[in-house]
Structure 1
Amino acid sequence: MIETKAIWNKYVHYTPGRIRLKVPGLKKNDYLAEKIHNALENIEGIDQIGTNLLTGTLLVHFNENLIHGPSIIIFVDDHRRKYNYPVPLTEKLSPMITQRANKIFLIATALVLLFTKSKILGPSALASSNILNNASTAIGLIIAYPIFLWGLKHPQQTRNRSYDLVINSITFTLLLLQESYTGLLLMLLVNYSKIIMALDFTRTNQIIARIGKLPEKVWVVIDKSEVAMPLEKLVSGDLVVVRNAEIIPVDGTVVDGEAVVDESQISGKSEPINKLSGSKVLAGTEILDGSLKILVEQTGFQTQLSKLTRRAVHKNDQPDKAIFRQRIDRMVYFSLMAAGGIYLLTGNLNRSLAILIVASPSAAGLAVPTANGVGIGKAAQRGIYVKNGNHLWDASEVDTMVLDKVPSLTVMKTSIQEIIVVNKEYTQSEILRIASISEGMEGNPLVEIIRKRGYLTNFGPVAAGVETEFIPKLGIRAQMKGKKILLGTKTLMLQENVKLNKIESKVLRFRHLGLNPIYLAVEGRLCGLFGVRETIKPEVRGAIEQLRALGIRRIVLLTRDEFEAAEIVANQLGIVEFHTGMTPNKKAEFIKTLNMQGHKVAMLGDGIDDALAMSEAEVGIAWGKKGADSAAKVAGIVISAQNPQVLVEAMLLAQKTKEVAKQNINFAIGINVIGLGLGAGGLINNVSAAFLGQMATVITVFNTYYQKWF
């Protein structure tokens, strides 16, 4: 048996090549079962997977030569924590949600009992008692006076919750004694609306929080053995082992092994990077193939991932906006003045009370929260997770969309479409063999495609003893058999004084065909030219046109690529404005510039390098499929699938939410204005005023829930 202390997965039976796990939360949970099954399928060495939803167990058959049992246990546990949100959602409800639920239950019970009692015994004598009515008025004035004074002195702060509890208790008791169905029903509607919003926010924030989570357990080499250890206990100098499909948990240096690593979430580079002994690795990056033994240099708050997160989250930590509050406040002030004026003119207290009752801003107060709550719920059904209603509001006003190019817009696939032999001393196979020195070099876009193309043409083994030097963003410089070799961009060739005038027409043809030229030179002479194509998601261009139709006229593409490569992609997407060589700081500065120009900017990205720019934008939109942890935390909206059509739906939903909220406000205030006129003219009494006020509330709720949102 294996010791798996502090790991929530409980093994039921373990034999070589076969393990059965009891997974908390798996019972009758199709969503979690599918996520774990799909994740395990992508791991080399897993032969067969079976799940039993009745017992909550997982059976895995595996090849012990490729993967060992403890790794499976920790892998399953990480994914259980990452995807099993329906279980902790009920376990971790905030006190506010619990209190609202208790209030709803209490009020609903009171309404049922009150209705039953009135049918059997008739109305209580207290319900029509003038003494109770006068006492209610006096108590209302007494408890309202300190609130009024406090509000004048502290308009931007929240009242003490204990005092609110006292007020709510007194109000509920008085309504119950007076048998006020109207008042109790209003309390029920207010609390119901708020609990629906709170549940939506809780679920959304939990989903966002689990995106891109670093593993809680890591494998540490101690005395030549691998031991499971909590991530927080790692220190600088430890040796950790990270395998296929796992997230690298630390910043450090590779001391053994080889792996292909996806760094797009941190660096923004679209191509996977080969990591060898001596390579630097960053926390939050993912191993696509292979395994690494890493010397820990930075952990926890010291990692590059954590520094970017703190910097961006701090900039994004701003208070919520009070949407439509001023309009509602003006209505309240106007009704108070109208009631006072009518009383001074007529001396009729009932007319003044009717005005106050009908002008109650209860419906207006529900207008925005109900629209936001339903909008957030509809969004979650589509895989769009919104932190709060303010972000939907911000998104509805966007006129400029800034898009990160990689990998959110391009399929992670490049291919060599054409090879031109410039120097007749070489054949195409020889050019491929020479260019294959890039194999293993970090950051070069030809790493995988040359390897694949070379294997197809069977160019033979690469010469041993090749000395290589990686030049960031440009390519590589190498020495092979005493010859200087250059492979990379036009900029690299010009820096090394390689003449390119003979192939200008061929490069122009490449660009007309949408190909990105990569140059190969030997001993200062150009000998080959590769035409490389990035495959763009076919649905992106259509989505961009739809965004323009929604009123987002300016769409900008940001990339780290060179001008020529970016131009090709921008042309395919139908984007006129694009900017190249954009680092995280440059992206943030660009967003700042747009803000200063008066634009309402949405920043869309999928990596940590986008987080700072998102924090500067009016609203940040993160693609969460591959776990852009910090980007998701900073963003106001997270889209779980990298589907451009869902982005359009998110912007459409934001505009619809604002439209519904405006309709609700107009309905509520319109009925209030009508009621004010009727009350001032003495055409309605207090009961009619209460009915009219409740009708505004019902219309507001009905309009929100029965809208055609999509």
Structure 2
Amino acid sequence: MNEISIKSFVSGRVRLKCEAFKTVSTHSLETLLSPLVFEQRLNRACASLILRFDPLKSSLESILEALQTSLHVRIKTPELSASAALYCDACSSCHVKSLDAKTPVSWRSKMVGFALLSVYALGLFVVETFFATSVALSFLPAVTAIVAFVAALPLFQEAIEDVKARRFSLHSFMAVALLGAILGGEVTAAFEIIYILRGGMLLEEYTAERSKKQIHELMALGVKKAYVVVDEVELEVDVSEIKEGDIVVARSGEKIAVDGIISEGSAEIDEAAINGRSEPALRVLGDSVYANTLVQRGRIYIRVSATGEKTYLARMIASVESSLAQKSPSEVSADKLAAKLLKLGTLLTAGTFLLTGSWLRAFSVMIVMSCPCATILAASTAISAGIARGAKEGILIKGGAYLEAVSQSDVFCFDKTGTLTTGVPHVIGSVCAPDVSYESLLYYAALAEHHNSHPIGIAITKAAHLIGFTCKEENPSEIYAGLGVLLHDKAGEILVGNAKWMEQNAIDIASFKRKSKKSLQEGKSVVYVALNQKALGFLSLEHEVREGTLAMLQGLRKRGVKHLVLLSGDEEVVARSFAQTYGFDEIHANVMPEEKASVIEALKERYKSVVMVGDGINDTLAMSKADVAISFASGGSEAAIEVSNIAITNSHPHDILKLYDLSAKSLGVVNQNYWIGTGTNLVGVGLAGVGLLSPVAAGAIHIGHTVGIMANSSRIAWSVDNNS
């Protein structure tokens, strides 16, 4: 029997898949579902049915029931509530799931809840500080206990789930501490714990959800419509209606809407979104092209191989989001530490009670050991100060674990184009024929390139402007994609382009071959200039390297980084020349995004921690696989910025060194704070065990070492070692 599976479901829209949809009558489906839905679209080629309905008038359950009865099929997925959110197998979750019947708490409700806690915290401070003798103060502990308990309910629920699953996490640990503090009368400490925890959880959730939202928005910003050839006529249709095997047309200035193979024509295509290459690539008959790449010049007919969620870019984004959902080593370590602390605290509390027979002493030991504030604040205050310091320097850090990991990383991987280079070519030299000057060579080149929007043409025109040449040529050049340009001028026929362009026009460039080969081996681009069938020489161009790149790489080595890796979509000769100039240990050229990700995963097997620095969509998959992902935000893609753990707003290589030093300083202060917290805890346990520390005094010790830890951490905000 055929099965209906739910491939995607959001409120009012569902996509179903079933082999029966390939043969079912469209009319019968319309008759069956018209009372339940207001729009339906059947795609027989992929056996899918897309339905839109009003959730107030209909439900997913009623639609499935109608299909099941009429088509005699089974429902593959579990029974779902009307509010269930399902994701297709190419999206982030990559699974079909049923959600709890309880309505999820909205982001706005969580914000309101935390705001109310903040108001109460302020009120608590005012009352205890200015109305210490007030009669109302006698009611304050009871009210505070109720507030703390209610605020901790979500934590208690998670702790119960942990216990049911036979695991002990930080939630379990904190829940025990909070209950102990509330029942033991330390209600102010309990409120303080839950207030800090709720704020931290809210911030973490905001960061994670924002990243996911930006990734989904990136997919939504793709091409909405495209032209499909039907009976030799081009018809504009929604991209969602295009199916495999259709012929789609794309022209100059248009984004390609699908993945496919060129069946006719040729074009220069900007593929930076896919492979990071700095210059457009010439694609001809039989070549593969990808959705969301840009046709800069030309017209191509594409036989569709994938659309929508099946395209290369969509699958890459889905892989990115899947990687983001995985727990980091720091989170796993925190859970293990919490379990150990819980066991140790339980052991010391029970031991104290057995040895002394005093419930009061045992409870004092429990407050000292089970209160997690020292452990939390030791790291959180130092890291928060580090994050604040980074923000002042234009370094936006999305989590403490990432700040810590930077200075602990053995490997730094760098994308080239847009990260270490600006992606803008510029003229750096020339080789001229004996009777030709550099000015003349540049003059004729700019004359022909004046109307060309290609990055190299723009660079040549700018170089000519710098020597005072202003082009007034009104005759447009003839542009030949992937080759060069041709201009018929009063001075004669001017040709500007690559060696192949010269050879096609029977221009003798043999005398320049040796020097041009050397330029190519150094990673430069070579553009020949010819006038009236005579070669005048060639111009050398290279992409501008960001100032301070070499100093940054050398600085990382001085700080102990063991391995520097270059990941580039450029050709082998270009990437290798760049890597040798700047001292990289490992080079990977001409790599696609998933190949970059594979390199990162391989490096993680050989080294303790790996950092990936990039700026484009093509870097996001590799960034998601790294232990720490750093984006150069100035001019970088939104996807890379959102996927990254750290965004450097000024895109200056020197900021990598600032970040490394900030990480090392913060980590040092964290260790100092742990000693402060551990030392006071040991003293507290000892005093409580011999009866010299009451529960109230245990709370006082907590406040004392909290102040000490915060004071120590505050040093980071104004004093960061800067060895760069």
Q: Do the aligned residues in 2 keep the contact of 1:219 with 1:240 (CA within 8 Å)?
A: no
Note the C-alpha offset of 1:625.
2.9
Cα distance in 1 for residues equivalent to 2:695 and 2:477? 95
571-580 or 337-346, larger mean C-alpha shift: 571-580
Secondary structure of 1:191's counterpart equals helix
Cα distance in 2 for residues equivalent to 1:669 and 1:530? 66
Note the C-alpha offset of 1:410.
1.4
Cα distance in 1 for residues equivalent to 2:621 and 2:591? 12
Cα distance in 1 for residues equivalent to 2:138 and 2:462? 87
Q: Do the aligned residues in 2 keep the contact of 1:608 with 1:631 (CA within 8 Å)?
A: yes
Could you tell me which residue of structure 1 aligns to residue 7 of structure 2?
none
Q: Which amino acid aligns with 1:349?
A: W
Could you tell me which residue of structure 2 aligns to residue 151 of structure 1?
163
Which residues of structure 2 form unaligned runs of 5+?
1-105, 146-151, 228-236
Could you tell me which residue of structure 2 aligns to residue 357 of structure 1?
367
Q: Does 1:624 align with 2:633?
A: yes
Q: Does 1:338 align with 2:348?
A: yes
Cα distance in 2 for residues equivalent to 1:599 and 1:504? 47
Secondary structure of 1:119's counterpart equals coil
Q: Does 1:109 align with 2:123?
A: yes
Q: Which amino acid aligns with 2:313?
A: L
Q: Does 1:419 align with 2:427?
A: no
696-705 or 111-120, larger mean C-alpha shift: 111-120
Q: Does 1:310 align with 2:318?
A: yes
Could you tell me which residue of structure 2 aligns to residue 32 of structure 1?
none
Change (3 A) 1:515 1:220: closer
Secondary structure of 1:707's counterpart equals helix
Note the C-alpha offset of 1:605.
1.1
Q: Which amino acid aligns with 1:306?
A: A
Could you tell me which residue of structure 2 aligns to residue 195 of structure 1?
199
Secondary structure of 1:708's counterpart equals helix
Cα distance in 1 for residues equivalent to 2:125 and 2:603? 54
Cα distance in 2 for residues equivalent to 1:389 and 1:645? 21
Cα distance in 1 for residues equivalent to 2:530 and 2:448? 13
Cα distance in 1 for residues equivalent to 2:268 and 2:521? 32
Note the C-alpha offset of 1:513.
9.0
CA RMSD of aligned residues (A): 6.0
Q: Which structure 2 residues correspond to residues 473-492 of structure 1 after superposition, within 5 A?
A: 488=498
Note the C-alpha offset of 1:672.
0.8
Cα distance in 1 for residues equivalent to 2:647 and 2:301? 32
Cα distance in 2 for residues equivalent to 1:213 and 1:144? 37
Q: Does 1:394 align with 2:408?
A: no
Aligned match of 2:275 in 243, 256, 267? 267
Aligned match of 1:643 in 646, 649, 652? 652
Could you tell me which residue of structure 2 aligns to residue 18 of structure 1?
none
For residues 485-522 of structure 1, what are the alpha-carbon distances to aligned partners after superposition, in whole Å with 9 as ceiling and x for unaligned?
996489x999xxx9999667635875899855567899
Note the C-alpha offset of 1:405.
0.6
Cα distance in 1 for residues equivalent to 2:401 and 2:166? 22
For residues 66-102 of structure 1, what are the alpha-carbon distances to aligned partners after superposition, in whole Å with 9 as ceiling and x for unaligned?
xxxxxxxxxxxxxxxxxxxxxxxxxx95543432332
Cα distance in 2 for residues equivalent to 1:464 and 1:493? 16
Q: Do the aligned residues in 1 keep the contact of 2:444 with 2:529 (CA within 8 Å)?
A: no
Change (3 A) 1:642 1:250: farther
For residues 396-421 of structure 1, what are the alpha-carbon distances to aligned partners after superposition, in whole Å with 9 as ceiling and x for unaligned?
42111111110211133323344335
Cα distance in 2 for residues equivalent to 1:640 and 1:397? 23
For residues 541-561 of structure 1, what are the alpha-carbon distances to aligned partners after superposition, in whole Å with 9 as ceiling and x for unaligned?
222233334332322222233
Change (3 A) 1:454 1:678: closer
Cα distance in 1 for residues equivalent to 2:438 and 2:658? 52
Change (3 A) 1:197 1:659: farther
Change (3 A) 1:556 1:518: farther
Q: Does 1:585 align with 2:594?
A: yes
Cα distance in 2 for residues equivalent to 1:512 and 1:697? 60
Cα distance in 1 for residues equivalent to 2:123 and 2:478? 83
Q: Do the aligned residues in 1 keep the contact of 2:169 with 2:339 (CA within 8 Å)?
A: no
Could you tell me which residue of structure 2 aligns to residue 25 of structure 1?
none
Cα distance in 1 for residues equivalent to 2:206 and 2:141? 40
Cα distance in 2 for residues equivalent to 1:454 and 1:643? 28
Cα distance in 2 for residues equivalent to 1:238 and 1:626? 34
Change (3 A) 1:645 1:127: closer
Cα distance in 1 for residues equivalent to 2:687 and 2:339? 21
Note the C-alpha offset of 1:676.
1.7
Cα distance in 1 for residues equivalent to 2:112 and 2:393? 27
Cα distance in 1 for residues equivalent to 2:277 and 2:158? 59
Q: Do the aligned residues in 2 keep the contact of 1:606 with 1:624 (CA within 8 Å)?
A: yes
Q: Do the aligned residues in 2 keep the contact of 1:111 with 1:184 (CA within 8 Å)?
A: no
Q: Do the aligned residues in 1 keep the contact of 2:420 with 2:545 (CA within 8 Å)?
A: yes
Cα distance in 1 for residues equivalent to 2:598 and 2:502? 31
Q: Does 1:406 align with 2:417?
A: yes
Secondary structure of 1:412's counterpart equals strand
Q: Which structure 2 residues correspond to residues 133-212 of structure 1 after superposition, within 5 A?
A: 151=163, 153-155=165-167, 183-188=187-192, 190-192=194-196, 194-195=198-199, 198-199=202-203, 202=206, 206=210
92-101 or 430-439, larger mean C-alpha shift: 430-439
Secondary structure of 1:557's counterpart equals strand
Note the C-alpha offset of 1:429.
6.7
Q: TM-score, normalised by structure 1?
A: 0.62
Q: Which structure 2 residues correspond to residues 20-39 of structure 1 after superposition, within 5 A?
A: none
Q: Do the aligned residues in 2 keep the contact of 1:104 with 1:188 (CA within 8 Å)?
A: no
Cα distance in 2 for residues equivalent to 1:240 and 1:493? 31
Q: Do the aligned residues in 1 keep the contact of 2:365 with 2:689 (CA within 8 Å)?
A: yes
Change (3 A) 1:185 1:458: closer
Q: Do the aligned residues in 2 keep the contact of 1:251 with 1:304 (CA within 8 Å)?
A: no
Q: Which structure 2 residues correspond to residues 441-590 of structure 1 after superposition, within 5 A?
A: 446-450=456-460, 470=482, 488=498, 506=515, 510=519, 517=526, 528-575=537-584, 577-590=586-599
Cα distance in 2 for residues equivalent to 1:185 and 1:376? 26
655-664 or 259-268, larger mean C-alpha shift: 259-268
Aligned match of 1:603 in 609, 612, 637? 612
Q: Matched residue pairs, number?
A: 572
Note the C-alpha offset of 1:268.
0.8
Q: Does 1:665 align with 2:665?
A: no
Q: TM-score, normalised by structure 2?
A: 0.61
Q: Do the aligned residues in 1 keep the contact of 2:568 with 2:575 (CA within 8 Å)?
A: yes
Cα distance in 2 for residues equivalent to 1:125 and 1:430? 89
Q: Which structure 2 residues correspond to residues 274-313 of structure 1 after superposition, within 5 A?
A: 301=309, 304-313=312-321
Cα distance in 1 for residues equivalent to 2:212 and 2:662? 19
Could you tell me which residue of structure 2 aligns to residue 67 of structure 1?
none
Change (3 A) 1:380 1:501: same
How many percent identity over aligned positions? 22
For residues 681-702 of structure 1, what are the alpha-carbon distances to aligned partners after superposition, in whole Å with 9 as ceiling and x for unaligned?
3333333333223322333333
Note the C-alpha offset of 1:216.
6.4
Q: Which amino acid aligns with 2:316?
A: L
Could you tell me which residue of structure 2 aligns to residue 652 of structure 1?
661
For residues 121-175 of structure 1, what are the alpha-carbon distances to aligned partners after superposition, in whole Å with 9 as ceiling and x for unaligned?
49859999xxxx9xxxxxx9xx999968953743167979xx98x997x889x67
Change (3 A) 1:493 1:398: farther
Q: Do the aligned residues in 2 keep the contact of 1:367 with 1:700 (CA within 8 Å)?
A: yes
Change (3 A) 1:600 1:397: same
653-662 or 505-514, larger mean C-alpha shift: 505-514
Aligned match of 1:678 in 677, 681, 687? 687
Secondary structure of 2:409's counterpart equals coil
Change (3 A) 1:609 1:558: same
Change (3 A) 1:243 1:463: closer
Q: Does 1:385 align with 2:396?
A: yes
Q: Do the aligned residues in 1 keep the contact of 2:225 with 2:238 (CA within 8 Å)?
A: no
Cα distance in 2 for residues equivalent to 1:294 and 1:383? 45
Note the C-alpha offset of 1:611.
1.8
Q: Which amino acid aligns with 2:167?
A: P
Secondary structure of 1:337's counterpart equals helix
Cα distance in 1 for residues equivalent to 2:313 and 2:460? 31
